[in-house]
Structure 1
Amino acid sequence: MNVIPQALRKGSALGEDYVRGQHAHNLYEYDLEDAQALRRRAEWLDAPHRPQADRQALVKVLSAYNAKYNDHEAVHSSIATLADERALVVVGGQQSGLFTGSLLVIYKAATIVNAARLAAQQLGRDVVPVFWIAGEDHDWDEADHTYVLTPELEVRRLRMESWHDGKSSVSDVEVTAEKWQAVIAELERVLADSAFKSELLDMLRSELPHSISLSEGFARLIGRLFGRYGLVLVDSADPSLRQVEQPMFRRLIERNDELEAAYLTAAARIEEAGYEQQAQAAEGAANLFYIHEGQRLLLFKQDGKFVDRRGTVILSRDELLERVERCPECFSNNVLTRPLMQDYLFPVLYAVLGLGEVAYWAGTKDGFEAADMQMPILLPRMSFTLVDASTKKYMQAYDLSFEDVMERFGERKEAWLAEQDKLGTDGLFEQTKAEFEQLYAPLIERIGELHPGLADLGETNRGKIMAQIDFLQGKTKQTIARQNEAELRRWDRIYKTLFPLDRPQERVYTVFYMLNRYGPDWIDDLMRIEPDLTGAHRIIEA
């Protein structure tokens, strides 16, 4: 595979500035370009004073979870390594998604594995890769679908049908074997035939119907793809994890006012630096969820009580502390406290993030400090666009660069189509309209002298004639397009391959679309690419 550096619009101003080292330097604990950051972070993690989970209890939870969904010898070795108190971690994660969601999930997993390996070499000590499955999130509509490009050049959305109340965690939404079989059958219908299709479908049918939730299916597939690289999985919604998290939930409740103030301070600093908040801090927010009758209710502080918006739950601080002792599984983090919980559970050297996540983590720096913790080094995930041989050939035939496709594809396509008008009809139509306007305007003016109503009628008539000329011009263009239909499909293929739904490829297509094209060994090919941990985008010519 040929790998080429290539700029890509990514949408987060603060995330982009962080990668370039141009952000306000008080928004993060470490700068990405600081050569000493890794050693300084490791030294801080070695200090005895920091809040941290019971390492052996955590290892026990990880062992049980991975034995069920990620049962690889390399994973068992990673977990055994983590039992050593000197072992450190690189962690990153994503909400579970159908068929692992979009390609960015795969690139994030690859970044975690590579970053852990390189950090271990640099520090001369064990560093374990961990993938955090955000199963406690309740946004089912974000998790229940993915996309493939069909042979007919349709960007097809595949969706897992399941009832969801909008409040339950994704990991708690039951998915039946029949629903798994139905969505796999749909994938089989829309994937192009290939030498690898049967093997991939057999793998999906062997793993997914045994999964009772989207998160379980996600874990099984990530394990199949990356377990051999020692990538440890953890589901944030795993009930057995809550007992390990209990002391940190207690701290989040006891210091809730200080944390609220810290998040608001960070939010103000972000806005003063000229950026928009990605994770909205709010006055009175407890930044915790309480699980009540299966629903994940966001808590707020009101008149000395912790309440949800509808008043379903009303608890004093002491009552909340009593609940966390008795029922830690009744609690869940929000976007601002999740980074703290992750850092409490694991000795995190690097948190691997997308650039949007880098932006919202800026809002947590003061929260870390309020909890007697320290924000880890934020590492942008690797970013790629795959260009297959046919797409590359078509781009060369039409003299299209990646920037052309990204920035001015419509203009270039229209210009090319205009060149196919060998008779120059478009110019003739424009000339005809201009001459008609020139001839007709004096006539309307003259008849208006006879009666104002005639001028109005003339204007209406002029509009109808121009509309008819436009109609004929449009029909002529359609005829030219039909005569060049085969080549226009190539233009469409170029754009839908690189920017489906007007978004970067990595944010849309599932990895199984790529595995069907390039084979199951494509993951190994990806892992052989020299890692770039700067957040730069690269093109892979496959």
Structure 2
Amino acid sequence: MPIEAVNWKRNQPLAQDYIEDKISSRELFEYHYLHEAAWFERAEFVKHSRSPRADSAELVKVLTDYNVKIGNAPEALEKISMLLDPSALVVVGGQQAGLFGGQLMILYKAISIIQAARTWSEKLNRPVLPVFWVAGEDHDFDEVNHIHYLSAQLQVEKLQVEHPTGARTAVSRLPLQADAWARAVEELEASLIDTEFKAGLLDKLRAVTSGSVTLTDTFAAIMASLLGEYGLVLLDSDDPALRQLEAPMFQQLVQRNADLSAALQLGRSQVEAAGYVPQAEVAENGANLFIFEGDRRLLLQRDGELFADKKKTFSISQEELGQLAQNQPERLSNNVLTRPLMQEFLFPVLATVLGPGEIAYWGLTGEAFHLFGMKMPVVAPRLEFTLVEGTLQKHLSKYDLTLEDIRFRFEEKQQQWLESQDKLNLAQRFDGVKDSFRESYSPLVESLAAINPGVRKLGETNMLKIIEQIEFLEGKAADAYKTHFEAALRQLERIKLSIIPLAKPQERVYNIYAYLNRYGEDWLKPLIETSMPIDGMHRIYYL
């Protein structure tokens, strides 16, 4: 099962420049992942840092309780206990809780965390835990309630579950009813071909979706079943017990909110001065915190002496918000710019594993870290993969296509292949007929001017209509020719839809279950067990 590393560019300029260690991006990040010395420097900083941090014994209890609840493996529970070691460090990353595990890139991020933690535990000779942060506090249900798959009819189909209430609240607070889960699993079953692995996969999935459970808990259980044996620790960012631990940091975020806003504004200015467009909105009056009010998750902003939501349907004083942070921290929630700070408060973070968009908005947070006596950890880009199945490899060879061809010039290459199969030279022969007709007919049309300009005009119109009829026949001939190669065109279409579905990288569209169904779980082992450098390269995995 060979794995080939290629250098594929991302569409996010700041992230791409950071990954390549371009000078323009360096001032926005504390350390750089490509410099080994930076990891050692970061480890020393964490060791001697006096910035506030959550109580490790309480954190171990909260993580243990949650990981037992989701059925995580003994290896993960053992990793959690290592947090009691004062020398322990963490490699952490996270994502929203996608249906049935979400897109492949989420799995790859978790694998990146495991890889980096294992590598640096060996290099530093100290415990380094892999931790995956499930962003259950996020409220964009439509972003996580679906998966895509490639149907037998070569259509990229969407499977989704409906919002159970319509409330704009955290995904972790929205359990789906048992019948909704049953329908979703049935639809998934219908989308999968019959294989030796199918029944077992579906039985496991029915077990974790039985009863009324949330997308967050089913997501965590799926990730634990796939990666728990490698020590991956999971947490739900909306876990009420975790929120209690976060109370002191929430108090700081409330009390120093104007300073936090100023620090983020400065971060935005630094990003713009470096020549980049900020990835996240940094509003001057933004509190960068959410509050749960009834069944709503409201983004707060400063409104004079108060904190209010955008529509001003809710308001609260700073003193009251501070008391709430102390006594009811489960009512507060981070946004994308304060979650990094909360992560730093909870864990002794060596590195954080991020996707391109995340790297770009973390570039805004350097001054905010400094405000609270912290430093941004090492930012490591997640591993990226494209899976190329055996049949696909044969077709790539048959049509003399590279993955670069598929990404950037597929239509052109497909047309070139069709033209190379044209033994009748239809295009040239039709062009010859049209040229010959024009050559013999045009002088006749010109001579008609001596009779009457109107007759000449009629002749020109007549010539164009005849050319149109010849081109009409040419089009019909081309369609007939394509029909003759219908099987080949279907193979070419399958290649395209397998590699760049919906004109996006495969890992950003497809779900893992189609691959688990075809190959079982063994194909995952090389991705996890074979040491791969976090180097910003994209990897082609030939199954």
Same fold (TM over 0.5): yes
| Equivalent residue, structure 2, for 1:16 | 16
| Equivalent residue, structure 2, for 1:111 | 112
Is 1:499 the counterpart of 2:500? The answer is: yes
> Residues 454 and 175 (structure 1 numbering): CA distance in 2 closer, same or farther, change over 3 Å?
farther
> Residues 269 and 68 (structure 1 numbering): CA distance in 2 closer, same or farther, change over 3 Å?
same
Structure 2: distance between partners of 1:211 and 1:44: 44
Give the aligned residue type for 2:6: Q
> Residues 24 and 431 (structure 1 numbering): CA distance in 2 closer, same or farther, change over 3 Å?
same
Query: What SS does the aligned partner of 2:289 have?
Result: strand
Is 1:367 the counterpart of 2:372? The answer is: no
Q: CA deviation at 1:449?
A: 8.0
Structure 2: distance between partners of 1:421 and 1:501: 30
Any gaps of 5 or more consecutive residues in structure 2? none
Structure 2: distance between partners of 1:377 and 1:208: 36
Q: TM-score, normalised by structure 2?
A: 0.95
Give the aligned residue type for 2:532: P
Cα offsets for 1:196-226 (capped at 9, x unmatched): 1121111111212245111111011001101
CA contact (8 A) 1:420 1:480 kept: no
> Residues 424 and 244 (structure 1 numbering): CA distance in 2 closer, same or farther, change over 3 Å?
same
Structure 2: distance between partners of 1:458 and 1:318: 87
Query: What SS does the aligned partner of 2:153 have?
Result: coil
> Residues 443 and 47 (structure 1 numbering): CA distance in 2 closer, same or farther, change over 3 Å?
farther
Structure 2: distance between partners of 1:444 and 1:319: 89
Give the aligned residue type for 2:204: M
Structure 1: distance between partners of 2:463 and 2:173: 65
> Residues 469 and 221 (structure 1 numbering): CA distance in 2 closer, same or farther, change over 3 Å?
same
Give the aligned residue type for 2:358: E
**Alignment RMSD, CA only?**
2.0
Query: What SS does the aligned partner of 1:167 have?
Result: coil
Structure 2: distance between partners of 1:447 and 1:298: 77
Q: Which moved more, 1:142-151 or 1:60-69?
A: 142-151
Structure 2: distance between partners of 1:440 and 1:327: 88
Cα offsets for 1:492-538 (capped at 9, x unmatched): 12111211111111111111111112112222232123312112111
Query: What SS does the aligned partner of 1:4 have?
Result: strand
| Equivalent residue, structure 2, for 1:536 | 537
Count of aligned residue pairs for this structure pair: 542
Q: TM-score, normalised by structure 1?
A: 0.95
Matches within 5 A, 1:88-103: 88-103=89-104
Matches within 5 A, 1:308-323: 308-323=309-324
> Residues 164 and 338 (structure 1 numbering): CA distance in 2 closer, same or farther, change over 3 Å?
farther
Structure 2: distance between partners of 1:441 and 1:137: 70
> Residues 454 and 221 (structure 1 numbering): CA distance in 2 closer, same or farther, change over 3 Å?
farther
CA contact (8 A) 1:95 1:137 kept: yes
Q: Which moved more, 1:352-361 or 1:524-533?
A: 524-533
Cα offsets for 1:35-59 (capped at 9, x unmatched): 2111211121122511211222221
Structure 2: distance between partners of 1:48 and 1:281: 28
Give the aligned residue type for 1:46: K
| Equivalent residue, structure 1, for 2:5 | 5
Structure 2: distance between partners of 1:312 and 1:422: 72
| Equivalent residue, structure 1, for 2:411 | 410
Structure 1: distance between partners of 2:291 and 2:461: 65
Structure 2: distance between partners of 1:149 and 1:208: 23
Q: CA deviation at 1:110?
A: 0.8
Structure 1: distance between partners of 2:260 and 2:306: 16
Give the aligned residue type for 2:109: K
> Residues 241 and 460 (structure 1 numbering): CA distance in 2 closer, same or farther, change over 3 Å?
farther
Q: CA deviation at 1:470?
A: 3.1
| Equivalent residue, structure 2, for 1:159 | 160
Any gaps of 5 or more consecutive residues in structure 1? none
Matches within 5 A, 1:211-230: 212-230=213-231
> Residues 448 and 26 (structure 1 numbering): CA distance in 2 closer, same or farther, change over 3 Å?
farther
Matches within 5 A, 1:55-204: 55-163=56-164, 165=166, 167-204=168-205
Is 1:480 the counterpart of 2:452? The answer is: no
Structure 2: distance between partners of 1:185 and 1:380: 36
CA contact (8 A) 1:148 1:191 kept: no
| Equivalent residue, structure 2, for 1:328 | 329
Matches within 5 A, 1:369-408: 369-408=370-409
| Equivalent residue, structure 2, for 1:275 | 276
CA contact (8 A) 1:90 1:127 kept: yes
| Equivalent residue, structure 1, for 2:287 | 286
Q: CA deviation at 1:356?
A: 1.8
CA contact (8 A) 1:18 1:32 kept: no
Query: What SS does the aligned partner of 1:497 have?
Result: helix
| Equivalent residue, structure 1, for 2:249 | 248
Structure 2: distance between partners of 1:9 and 1:285: 33
Structure 2: distance between partners of 1:214 and 1:176: 11
